[in-house]
Amino acid sequence: VRFGQKDHIDFADDLDLIVKPEGLASNLERPFGALLGSGIPLFSIGGGIFRKILIDILTDFHLSRGYKIVESFPIVSSELYKISGHLEFYKENMYILEIEGKEFAIKPMNCPHHILIFINLLQKYRQKIKLPFRIFEPGRVARFEPSGSLHGLFRVRQFTQDDGHIFIELKEIKKEMLRIFEDEVVNIYEKIFHIPIIDSDLKLRLSFADFSELGKYYAGKREDWEIIQDFMSGVAQEIERKYGIEYYEGVGEAVFYGPKIDGIARFGEKEWQLFTIQFDFNLPIRFKLPNLISEIFEKEIQIYMIHRAILGSIERFLGTYLEYSKGRLPFALSPLQVAVVGIKTGAKDIDRKIEMEVKGIEENFKSKKIRVASILQDKTGIASLIRKMQTTIKPPIIIFVGEKEAKEGKISIKYYDYNKKEERDERMVSLERAEKIIENMEKGIKELTGKVYRLYQDMSYLL
């Protein structure tokens, strides 16, 4: 039940990120959700821009951290999941289908695919493949969830993980896990999304196995689990010591192949699962990696895997972020970035001048690949237009051109200050000032990857 308050689906609808499941396809006389099925999101044009740019940023970021980018398709023979143990320990979360009498599955996790790529590389290029070896994929997966537990974008049946796997020796795991936290987690949340990780009410959950379920939900031997879980406690203690971030144990929250550290934040009543860093001592053995690696490197190597996702599921992250920010997306990811509003006076000559100014500003930003749109509005309608924009599409920057601005070749700006989390106004300033504000909004991501992400698409239908 909603009491007039918007939830993340409403925010996503306002920004045209998704096709709202409750919305009616009137010509088909059915809600979109009924045509798609429960827990299956459909991204629209605003969502297309959001996803494209976010994945571009994440891809560049991971490349800069030594990851290699790969891609795997969703349907694959269940032979692969027999070896990985998914069919034994994870089957109730999987969709199984039959093709020409053979069993296939829809990919629930990207890891087995990444392991195959790693095996192939090792065989072909042998010692040229160096450890730790990092693989990244914005990978789409499908997992069964009972319909009763589905909830907006928070819990869906198909989603995209910012998924990375690292093949690594034991002696380097602690350093690598700390690096993932200090570099990847802190930077991605702070620089892309303006979410402070250090000094927030973030807690780490040590997600451990419930030993009474060993062999049923968890692979491997109890002694091994105990050693690895102790090791993970050590990593969490180190993060607590260095950054004052507390941790607690969540027994029964582990993945079938190993324990994990999950970042859990709280805002308002809600718990928000952020990143996950997982220690896997099972899959490398199941895929016989130790033998292969020891043979290639001509020494005994105990190979382990780290699975990590920084945003987790992009869909779940987006849902929570929309509620956290009340529908305010970062500049780079906003469907409409700049709205230019001409304030009409009723006097023909002046209005023509205003219109020309507005078009000129729009063209200027368009040429710089900023998603800009313009509108001309009577003075009396301005307040309600601003209110409408600020409660729905939330362009980070609104530029006004009225009589005074047009005469003096200036603009007035209303923009969102992402650091202070408030609106700001600047009157009668130059167009260069607006460009400076944009550069400031793009600064965090530029620090992350060395690039700015501009992709023009006509979003004028939103205005």
Positions touching Zn ion (CB under 5 A) are: 111, 307
SS (H, E, C) the chain: CCCCCCCHHHHHHHCCCECCCCCEECCCCEEHHHHHCCCCCCECHHHHHHHHHHHHHHHHHHHHCCCEECCCCCEEEHHHHHHHCHHHHCHHHCCEEEECCEEEEECCCCHHHHHHHHHHHHHHHHHHCCCCEEEEEEEEEECCCCHHHCECCCECCEEEEEEEEEEEEHHHHHHHHHHHHHHHHHHHHHHHHCCCCCCCCCEEEEEECCHHHECCCECCCHHHHHHHHHHHHHHHHHHHHHHCCCEEEEECCCECCECEEEEEEEECCEEEEEEEEEEECCHHHHCCHHHHHHHHHCCCCCEEEEEEEEEEEHHHHHHHHHHHHCCCCCHHHCCCCEEEEEEECCCHHHHHHHHHHHHHHHHHHHHCCCCEEEEEEEHHHHHHHHHHHHHCCCCCEEEEECHHHHHHCCEEEEEEECCCCEEEEEEEECHHHHHHHHHHHHHHHHHHHCCCCCCCCCCHHHC
As measured in angstroms, the least distance from the Cβ of 257 to Zn ion is 8
Q: How far is the CB of 288 from Zn ion (least distance, A)?
A: 18
Q: How far is the CB of 282 from Zn ion (least distance, A)?
A: 11
Closest contact distance (angstroms) between CB of 109 and Zn ion is 5
Q: Which of 111, 285 has the CB closer to Zn ion? A: 111
CB of 164 to Zn ion, least distance (A): 8
CA 196/CA 205 separation, integer angstroms = 18
Compute the least distance from the CB of residue 179 to Zn ion, in Å.
18
Cβ proximity to Zn ion, 228 vs 329, nearer residue: 228
For Zn ion, the closer CB: 179 or 359: 179
Cβ distance to Zn ion smaller for residue 307 or 371: 307
Which lies closer to Zn ion via its Cβ, residue 132 or residue 335? Answer: 132
Q: In the complex, what is the shortest distance from the CB of residue 255 to Zn ion, in angstroms, rounded to a whole number?
A: 8
How far the first Cα of the chain sits from its last, in Å, is 29
Q: Which is nearer to Zn ion, 71 or 408 (CB)?
A: 71
Minimum distance between the CB of residue 97 and Zn ion, rounded to whole angstroms?
Answer: 22
- Tell me whether residue 115 or residue 293 sits nearer to Zn ion (CB atom): 115
Least spacing, CB of residue 433 vs Zn ion, in Å: 46
**Burial (CB count within 10 angstroms: exposed 0-12, middle 13-18, buried 19+), residue 201:** exposed
The distance of closest approach from Cβ of residue 260 to Zn ion in the complex, given in angstroms and rounded to an integer, is: 10
Q: Quick one: 309 or 372, whose CB is closer to Zn ion? A: 309
Nearer to Zn ion, 113 or 371 (CB): 113
Judged by beta carbon, residue 202 or residue 283, the one nearer Zn ion is 283
